[in-house]
Amino acid sequence: MEYMTTNVSQKPEAFSAIPLSKIACNDKLQADVFIKIGEKFIKFKEQGDFIPEEKYNYFISMNVKELFVLNAFKDAFQVALEELKKEKIETLVTEVGEGNRTLVEQQVALKEIIYETFLDEVLSNETVEILKNQVTSFIEIVKNKNPSADIFLKISSMNNTVAEHSMNVANLSLLFGMAVGQNNPIVLENLYMGALFHDYGKAKIPESVSGKPNSIAYEKAIKNHPEAGVEMLKKNPSIPQPVLTIVAEHHEQFSGVGYPKGISKDAIYGLSRIVAIANVFDNVVTENRHNKASMYKAAIKVLEYDKGKQFDSTLLPRILDVLKLSLGNFNREREKKAIG
């Protein structure tokens, strides 16, 4: 990884640590930011710059939990971070309506916890319990307010870090799960947690491998990331088995040509099938994020044209219905069948 060549001669006590989870991807930095290598503090980004997605993913893979600012700028930097968070909340509330303020606030808080979780080298019981409590609160709000699909999509992130993609997939999985009749709070919590952790193994692929995407080692790591994620997660007794099963199976396909085991149809856990749909939907949206007029249409087309190859076709009609009713300019799946 490349850094600026500026070394700073101040002693370690001249610097203050800032949790990386509080510094949002792609946001303008309000002071010079440093990274600690050994006993040296090396300038990573200058004031006015930002941390791009690929660097954030690198930090996640390397378990870098803190960046540093000079003490003289600490207070102003932290105030700026809080102000920026408030601005984001107000912007989202303007988009989704004042009635969804608690949903937005909970989502922003949850995102910070998700980053803290992904940046941990080893998941502690305390971290998992904090995450579970946040997820439980979020699901309770969703069940009480029953927000439409467009609300879920508006609170989704367009940043392509593995942590924010995972949060998007979790939100979509919750939406899709409720659409197909899942209402039990414990089931929904397992669904959400499984979606949050679905790419945990991918997030922890070493940079020496992920930095060479055309290599055999990278291809092998990608194929193995569901099982690698399970191996890391199952060391924590707070992670329930349904969550591990979702992580293991999120790339299995209904026709049996997925990975890592190539299982098919009813052999795939029901919640894993929901997460598989949400994962692909968010991937397609992200790929088309620079064309906001068509990004959701592109993702919906992928689901419509699947015809049971990758996804469980019995789930798709209700999922497509909730998406189309919220986004508009679509014929509902059931209406098309009635016309046919």
Instruction: Tell me whether residue 314 is in a domain.
Output: yes
Task: Say what the pTM is.
Answer: 0.92
Dihedral sign for Cα atoms in the order 162, 131, 133, 92: negative
Instruction: Tell me whether residue 251 is in a domain.
Output: yes
Give me the amino acid identity at 7: N
Domain membership of residue 334 as a residue range: 97-339
- CA gap 285, 297 in Å, rounded: 9
Same domain, 76 and 168: no
Instruction: Tell me whether residue 88 is in a domain.
Output: no
Same domain, 323 and 291: yes
Same domain, 71 and 122: no
Instruction: Supply the CATH number for residue 318's domain.
Output: 1.10.3210.10
Please say which residue of 26, 58, 82 terminates a domain. Answer: 82
Same domain, 68 and 122: no
Instruction: Tell me whether residue 90 is in a domain.
Output: no
Angle CA 311–195–231, to nearest 5: 105
Indicate the length of the chain as a whole number.
Answer: 340
- Going residue by residue through the chain (340 aa), what tens digit of pLDDT does each one get? 444 445 555 788 899 999 999 999 999 999 999 999 888 999 999 999 999 999 999 999 999 999 999 999 999 999 999 999 999 999 999 999 999 999 999 999 999 999 999 999 889 999 999 999 999 999 999 999 999 999 999 999 888 899 999 999 999 999 999 999 999 999 999 999 999 999 999 999 998 998 898 999 999 999 999 999 999 999 999 999 999 999 999 999 999 999 999 999 999 999 999 999 999 999 999 999 888 778 999 999 999 999 889 999 999 999 999 999 988 755 554 444 443 4
Per the structure, the count of domains in the chain is 2
Same domain, 65 and 203: no
